[in-house]
Chains A and B, each alone.
Chain A
Amino acid sequence: MSMENALPISHRQRLWLYALGGLVMLFLIAPSVIIVIMSFSGSSLLEFPPQEWSLRWYESYFGSVEWRDATVVSVKVAVMTAIVATLLGTAAAYAIYARTLRLTGAINALLTASLIIPVILIGIGTFFLYARIGLNNTLTGLVIAHTVQALPLVVLTVLSGLRSYDMNQEMVARSLGAGRFSAFFQVTMPQIRFSIVSGALFAFITSFDEVVVSLFISGGETTTLTRRMFNALRDQIDPTIAAISTCLIVLSIVLLSAAQLFGRGR
């Protein structure tokens, strides 16, 4: 890696590149920073920098029954999605990695389909299906739909963990008399547990932040936080959303850091 510096180009000659790159980084991070600062504003004018500071938008978030209910729904769905997607995704990644199956290409395509199929089509399709089997506006329906979207991320994360693991170890365990399951849970699992946890965190955040499908299949008592936010934004720019957004940004940071820490734990 240190070889990069061996190129006969000085940092001074690269100043323009650093300036340009820095500007793009600013473009990427500025919106989040501005929203976090504004959420502590005391006025409803959304001025920046705020003239006075207060926690009134947080009070209006936590004090509102509607926002609180929506948050609870989102948390419930995200936790359930993380559990289900991690179980199914880890099982699938393990089976793909064992590589004794035919049709691996087709299986991969199917499992990662939700990454490339336009999400609006998934939303309309799911709504259409759920209307016939009565799953619209239910937690179960949301968990199923979100699991399908989180599954590819879990599969890819766990697969990348498995790639740095030697499956022969499990074979050794089995040849020494361990059953299939105890070999997996005692030998393989401890070595890929960090990627499994990362996958679970990604699944959680995928579900928690999901908008488009939830827009179609959630409503009434099961309105998710993102759906309520979307509808609120269609009407007017309510500063309460800045407070909610800040909470979501903090959640992303916490989960990403956790995923990074676990990733490094390997």
Chain B
Amino acid sequence: MSTASVSLDHAGRPNGALNTDALRADARRESRGLFALLSPGLLLVFAVIIVPIGWLFWLSLFDESGQLSAANYARFFEQASYIKTFVTTFKVAFVVTGACVLFGYPLAYMLSQLPRRAAGVCLIFVILPFWTSVLVRTYAWLVILQRKGLVNTWLMDLGVIGQPLPLANNFAGVVIGMTHIMLPFLVLPLYASMKTIDVDCLRAGMNLGASPAATFRQVFFPLSLPGLASGVVIVFVLCLGFFVTPALMGGGKVIMWAMRMEQTTSLYSNWGAGAALGVVLLAVTLALLGLFHWLLGTRATGVWSER
């Protein structure tokens, strides 16, 4: 250590300075102090999320007689009711994600093109629902869509339909309610990424003779794809594990993954089976997010820091 070398460490300090040891001790103390600040939060998350999930995973490996077996997982392929749950869940997730893209993309595009002040006002329409209780919004849709709800009453008064449309307590109701809840999750990251698209690129396209439509198609749209992908992934993943809206608006007919987990554990107290469902759900979720991260190199969870 005492031989003075000229190499510098990453902070630009000479490595061989006489007070190296003191500096190191100081840095260690600093590290320890910062870790002490982190540890209560980390500990809590570890105890309340990681430990129980690990425990459930362990449980899922044993059958009812306590024997190590894959019975809890084999059930998913053998029992028709489980297969139906998975099919329903993915169907809802696909339809809701598609609807979110269909409605969310134009809105995000409009927001990104509006002057700053107008965009700020319009953003309230996205952020306010985002922060309104899911229960409140589901209740609102129940009131609007039920048999004698607003939509049916109005349509019948106008003479458009003779019979009330079945809009609540079925697949349609679940999809409408969930689209409303998921839309901000798509619009917010998409809007944020559209804001970063350089207007000069668009102007260049137009200067080179492209029509506004062609500029959008060939320049803007491709540049907005990463933002769109991040919104799509987060919406899809949230749909897979969604509970409140299908439970209240499915009328007991639309059984999604999370409802199945609740029924299996609360109603039938079959912890092994419920845990196995949870493990697979978590694996699918993490796989989708991981795939996204691997393909695009960014995290899909940016929505929460872009409110």
Chain B, residues 128-167, CB within 8 Å of chain A (1/0): the string is 1101111111111111101011100100000000000000
**A39, chain B: closest CB distance, angstroms:** 10
Given the complex, which residues of B lie within 8 Å of A122, measured CB to CB? 48-49
**A98, chain B: closest CB distance, angstroms:** 5
Q: A17-B106, A121-B278 are in contact. Are A249 and B53 (CB under 8 A)?
A: no
Interface residues of B in 28-43 (CB under 8 A from A): 30-31, 33-35, 37-38, 40-42
The contact of B143 among A46, A111, A156, by CB within 8 Å, is A46
Interface residues of B in 228-283 (CB under 8 A from A): 237, 240-241, 243-244, 247-248, 258, 261-262, 265-266, 271, 274-275, 278, 281-282
Interface size in chain A (residues, C-beta < 8 A): 94
Q: Say which size band chain B's interface belongs to.
A: 35 or more
* Complex: A91 Cα to B38 Cα, angstroms: 6
Q: A25-B125, A121-B281, A211-B244 are in contact. Are A248 and B45 (CB under 8 A)?
A: no
The segment from B16-24, B70-78, B79-87, B108-116 that touches chain A is: B108-116
**B176, chain A: closest CB distance, angstroms:** 9
The contact of B142 among A95, A121, A233, by CB within 8 Å, is A233
Given the complex, which residues of B lie within 8 Å of A242, measured CB to CB? 139, 143
**B143, chain A: closest CB distance, angstroms:** 6
A21 near B110: Cβ-Cβ < 8 Å: yes
The contact of A120 among B125, B278, B305, by CB within 8 Å, is B278
* Complex: A145 Cα to B266 Cα, angstroms: 19
- How many residue pairs bridge A and B at CB < 8 Å? 268
Report if A5 contacts B (CB, 8 A).
Answer: yes
* Complex: A129 Cα to B50 Cα, angstroms: 11
Report if A92 contacts B (CB, 8 A).
Answer: yes
* Complex: A241 Cα to B240 Cα, angstroms: 28
Report if A96 contacts B (CB, 8 A).
Answer: yes
B132 near A32: Cβ-Cβ < 8 Å: yes
* Complex: A116 Cα to B51 Cα, angstroms: 16
* Complex: A208 Cα to B49 Cα, angstroms: 20
Closest to A13 in B: B212
Given the complex, which residues of B lie within 8 Å of A110, measured CB to CB? 42, 45-46, 50
- Which residues of A approach B to under 8 Å, CB–CB? 1-9, 13-14, 17-18, 20-21, 24-25, 27-32, 34-35, 38, 45-48, 88-89, 91-92, 94-96, 98, 100-101, 107, 110-122, 124-129, 144-145, 147-148, 151-153, 155-157, 159-160, 180, 205, 208-209, 211-212, 216, 226, 229-230, 233-234, 237, 241-242, 245, 248-249, 252-253, 255-256
